[in-house]
Amino acid sequence: MRAFFAVDLPDRLAPAVAEAQAAFADAAGLTAVDPRQAHVTLKFLGEIGGGDETPAADEPAPVLDDVIAAGERAVEAAEVDSFECAVRGFGVFPSLDYISVVWAGVAAGSAELTALHEALEAETTALGVDPEDHEFSPHVTLARMNDARGKGLVREAVRERRPEIGRFEVDNVRLVKSTLTSEGPEYETVASFEL
């Protein structure tokens, strides 16, 4: 199964996420994420064993029980208690010249999210999960750009708007199963780790 560790935004912030996405709703070639699924990905795992799907034999994957145990160890090692997180502003990956992802940034709470990411990175790479190939930057993905037709509108929104999506209390980390469908990804909580 395809999985990742994340911190969720509460349902009450979904309207604010949708309002922020409205700034570039007319951008051609851009696909918005479901505001009700807004989250901060702490560590993408890719395929792990123990779900409905069996990983390819030539690509051994860590098994679910080991990943859950790694999540428990990481949350303990990070020594992060519940904390407040604030989501605001726009940004893009990798750059305004070539946009693939439009995101909202994390202000308050970024140090705690980074500590959780680093602990999860250490524990999961020890299981054989590929290490990240870029620096961790806490964010909430708002949309993905499929082609550059709407790049101008996105650039304008990123440069001129600073949406305040909201603040929320983070008190757990989730291990999430992601199933790709024609209507977009479907997420299911596999395990939850209290801070």
Quick: pLDDT tens for 132-187.
Answer: 988 999 999 999 999 888 899 999 999 999 999 999 999 999 999 998 888 778 89
Task: Please tell me the predicted confidence (pLDDT) of residue 58.
Answer: 53
- Beta-strand relationship, 99-106 and 30-32: unpaired
Task: Please tell me the predicted confidence (pLDDT) of residue 61.
Answer: 73
Domain boundaries, given as residue ranges, for the chain: 2-194
In this prediction, residue 17 has a pLDDT band, given cuts at 50, 70 and 90, of: very high
Q: What is the pTM of this model?
A: 0.90
Average pLDDT over residues 30-57: 82
Residue 1's nearest CA partner among 42, 62, 74, 66 is 62
Residue 46 tokens read as: 């890719």
Above 80 in pLDDT, residue 60? no
Are 127 and 5 within 8 A, CB to CB?
no
Average pLDDT over residues 32-45: 95
Long-range residue pairs from 10-19, CB within 8 A, at least 24 positions apart, any chain:
10/168, 11/36, 12/166, 12/168, 13/38, 13/87, 13/165, 13/166, 13/168, 14/38, 16/163, 16/164, 16/165, 16/166, 17/104, 17/140, 17/142, 17/165, 19/163
> Which CATH architecture is the domain 2-194 placed in?
Alpha-Beta Complex (3.90)
Are 68 and 180 within 8 A, CB to CB?
no
